[in-house]
Amino acid sequence: MNKTPSNRERVTAQRGFTILLAALVASIVLALGTSIFSLAQKGLSLSSIGRESQFAFYAADSAAECALYQEIRNAHFSTSTPPADVTCDGQSVPVSMQDLSPQFIFTYEYEPNARCAVVTVTKQEVNPRMRIHADGYNTTCENVETSPHALERSVELKIN
């Protein structure tokens, strides 16, 4: 005997299919939402790193330009006299000098806009070449070694 399904059995089967379809659609929407959130979060992280990298670069550039200005304007990095303090961005900072004849190395650090900049000026006594190397950081000088988010950017100028 061939039994045809009753209306009640058909409705129950359709309800099961509807629940299955709703669960499938919800899973797809949830997966898309999670993917979009993950992409947005990564984009935000990358833009934050880019901004911090620019802060470090600007600190290095500012320090290199200050050293260049001090040398051109005041002949500050003289190999015949002990170095005086350098004034950069309104901050007076001490300069140390190493005599490695015929090469002299001047170093100092200062903090433009609460960012750290470490400057090394290398000058030849015989051939008046000069190299200014500035490392800039996106954090203060005291936090460079301990901060897990410290970024370093460098600028180097060579003057013949």
The yes-or-no verdict on residue 4 having pLDDT over 80 is no
Q: How confident is the model at residue 84 (pLDDT cuts 50, 70, 90)?
A: confident
Helix then strand then coil, in percent of the chain rounded to 5, is 45, 25, 25
Q: What is the pLDDT of residue 46?
A: 84
pLDDT per residue as tens digits for the range 86-140: 888 888 889 988 888 788 889 998 888 889 999 999 988 777 788 999 999 999 9
Pairing status of strand 96-100 against strand 130-137? unpaired
More confident residue, 129 or 40: 40
Asked whether residue 9 carries a pLDDT value surpassing 70, the answer given is: no
Q: How far apart are CA 153 and CA 53, in angstroms?
A: 7
Return the pLDDT at 64: 93
pTM here is 0.72
